[in-house]
Amino acid sequence: MSLPSQPRRIVIAGASLAGLRAAQSLRAEGFAGDITLVGAEPRPPYNRPPLSKSVLTGDDDVTLPGDEVDAHWLGGRRAISLDVAGRRVAVDDGSDLPYDGLVIATGARPRRLAEDQMGYAGVHVLRTVEHAQALRAGLGGVAGAAGRVVVIGGGFIGGEVASTARSLGAEVTLVEAGELPMAGVVGEVAAGWLAEHHRRNGVELITGMRVVGLVGEGGEPGEGGEFGEGWESGEGRRLGAGRGARRVRAVRLDGGREVAADLVVVAIGVVPNTEWLEGSGLTLDDGVVTDQALFAAPDVVAAGDVVRWPHGLFGERVRVEHWANANDQGLLAARNLLRGPAEAEPYAEVPGLGTRVHGARVQWAGLPHLGDASHLVAGKAEDDKFAVAFTRGGILVGAAAVAFPKELNRLRRGIVAGSALAAG
Ligand SMILES: Cc1cc2nc3c(=O)[nH]c(=O)nc-3n(C[C@H](O)[C@H](O)[C@H](O)COP(=O)(O)OP(=O)(O)OC[C@H]3O[C@@H](n4cnc5c(N)ncnc54)[C@H](O)[C@@H]3O)c2cc1C
């Protein structure tokens, strides 16, 4: 171990997937000192992927596989500042936690529309169990009566919500600012297919159009809407603060068109939770910036959705918002913290994610947006089964596939190996 002579205290800020895995990794590496997990949410670490899937249709199981750890958990508490030189983390209960090593794993929160727009009843975001339960209740309410759901943002969470809302019988409109949903993530061929797939499944897809505001049933919105920002904003507003607020009635698009809505889901991406690090001297740039081994400062590592790091394989600084990334970075960041920079390993896993939209499996790997060329390497979009490879200077950097996991895996191996595109 190369932390100052046998570290005794490690603080982990953020008690979700990356924070939990970091704590488990410390124990697995033989760390016998104190671990304190400071987590803004009032419940122990849980699994977020089911929140846009099974939880919306009634299954409340969000257990994280392997959620046991020998650590002191400060639940419902928020780290509010960091003193790197003094090695202390201040917490919102007034305490000051000294550390020998720190793991930053404060993740991200949903990006919101302008604050005055978010307070209408019937407006939702999706990041926490409470958000998912509120959305489920809302969908149950509108779906039975063929209610109108407008999803703002055609990313993977927006797509999953649109798909679930359709399966529950709602009329769904998906508004995407880009020309095609997820084009930046899966490339144009797969995004074009996805657009058609949404339409074939009864979603009204509006692309190339920005939402400029929400329209309520008259009067002003209340505070906090139904999504109860509470621990995300740190402002202490709790779930249900918007009860009694005016209901949302429509979504207003650039150009003036209004799309009628009984329920609105704002799924326009996330913002990394780094405000508490301002003034700490750490570099913040849409995330906390680290080196390849996830060090943000001496004896300070970071992991998960909050990190922007120089990816060893692609050369760029990236921030990745995927489960496996948070899981694996949590494990490695903690190991590197114990070993110190001289023996630390760079984190260079190839990102990848899969989603199901109206029953179809859509997967991607690597960083397709880095490609300077794309190649349809297997199948055909018309057959709803195909794979696309992305190359930069002839070298594989990304892949996307619809209903073709075998091909996606083959391409993924090529990305990991830094191979040129080979025939299938
Ligand atoms: C609805 C949904 C569906 C998803 N589906 C998939 C999927 O199918 N596949 C996939 O790969 N990924 C999916 N993801 C993404 C995946 O869940 C995330 O990448 C993962 O949760 C990131 O983990 P994390 O620990 O880095 O951050 P987070 O899960 O964001 O956790 C950060 C924690 O830190 C807390 N926190 C914030 N600020 C502070 C502070 N100052 N002090 C203390 N605590 C703080 C937060 O409240 C939170 O509990 C999904 C995410 C969502 C929201």
Query: What pLDDT is recorded for position 102?
Result: 98
**Alpha carbon of 319 to ligand 1 centroid (Å):** 13
Q: 73-77, 81-85, 140-144, 373-377: which range is least confident on average? A: 140-144
pLDDT band at 236 (very low <50, low <70, confident <90, very high): very low
Query: What pLDDT is recorded for position 224?
Result: 47
Same domain for 179 and 242, yes or no, is: yes
Same domain for 218 and 145, yes or no, is: yes
- Mean pLDDT score, 48-74: 92
- Mean pLDDT score, 125-148: 88
Query: What pLDDT is recorded for position 140?
Result: 87
pLDDT band at 114 (very low <50, low <70, confident <90, very high): confident
User: Residue 380 is part of which domain span?
Assistant: 359-417
pTM of the model: 0.93
Query: What pLDDT is recorded for position 146?
Result: 64
* pLDDT tens digits, 347-372: 999 999 999 999 999 999 999 999 99
Query: What pLDDT is recorded for position 142?
Result: 77
pLDDT at residue 103 is higher than 60:
yes
Amino acid at 96: D
**Residue 413: which residues within 8 A CB-CB, separation 6 or more?**
none
Among 12, 81, 93, 323, which is best to mutate for testing ligand 1, by the most ligand atoms less than 8 A from CB?
323
**7 CB less than 6 Å from ligand 1?**
no
* pLDDT tens digits, 313-350: 998 999 999 999 999 999 999 999 999 999 999 999 99
Among 73, 74, 106, which is best to mutate for testing ligand 1, by the most ligand atoms less than 8 A from CB?
106
Same domain for 233 and 307, yes or no, is: no
CB crowding 245-268: b at 16 or more within 10 Å, else e: bbbbbbbbbeeeeebebbbbbbbb
Domain count, the chain: 3
pLDDT band at 1 (very low <50, low <70, confident <90, very high): very low
**320 CB less than 6 Å from ligand 1?**
no
Same domain for 262 and 289, yes or no, is: no
Cα–Cα dist 225/350, whole Å: 38
pLDDT band at 119 (very low <50, low <70, confident <90, very high): confident
Please count the other Cβ atoms lying within 10 Å of the Cβ belonging to residue 324.
14
**Residue 213: which residues within 8 A CB-CB, separation 6 or more?**
113, 114, 117, 251, 252
Query: What pLDDT is recorded for position 83?
Result: 98
Same domain for 227 and 139, yes or no, is: yes
In a domain, 423, yes or no: no
In a domain, 124, yes or no: yes
**Alpha carbon of 16 to ligand 1 centroid (Å):** 6
- What phi and psi values does residue 140 have, to the nearest 5 degrees? -60, -40
In a domain, 132, yes or no: yes
In a domain, 348, yes or no: no
pLDDT at residue 117 is higher than 90:
no
The closest-lying atom of ligand 1 relative to the alpha carbon of residue 19 is: 25
Amino acid at 399: A
Higher pLDDT, 143 or 199: 199
In a domain, 354, yes or no: no
Query: What pLDDT is recorded for position 234?
Result: 35
Tokens encoding 45:
């670490």
pLDDT at residue 162 is higher than 70:
yes
> Domain boundary residue among 236, 269, 302?
269
- Mean pLDDT score, 278-307: 98
**18 CB less than 6 Å from ligand 1?**
yes
CATH number of the domain encompassing residue 320: 3.50.50.60
In which residue are the tokens 């019988």 written?
169
The closest-lying atom of ligand 1 relative to the alpha carbon of residue 17 is: 25
User: Which of 370, 232, 294 lies closest to 21 in space, CA to CA?
Assistant: 294
Query: What pLDDT is recorded for position 423?
Result: 55
Same domain for 388 and 246, yes or no, is: no
> Domain boundary residue among 343, 375, 397?
343
Distances (CA, A) of 58 to 62, 109, 137: 12, 23, 10
In which residue are the tokens 């490690």 written?
10
Query: What pLDDT is recorded for position 228?
Result: 40
CB crowding 222-240: b at 16 or more within 10 Å, else e: bebbbbbbbbbebeebebe
Cβ atoms of 204 and 165 within 8 Å: the answer is: no
User: What average pLDDT does the structure give for the chain?
Assistant: 91
- Mean pLDDT score, 288-293: 98
For residue 296, what is the enclosing H or E element? strand 295-297
- Mean pLDDT score, 125-131: 96
> Domain boundary residue among 208, 242, 269?
269
CATH number of the domain encompassing residue 373: 3.30.390.30
Query: What pLDDT is recorded for position 145?
Result: 65
pLDDT at residue 242 is higher than 80:
no
Higher pLDDT, 120 or 103: 103
Same domain for 142 and 230, yes or no, is: yes
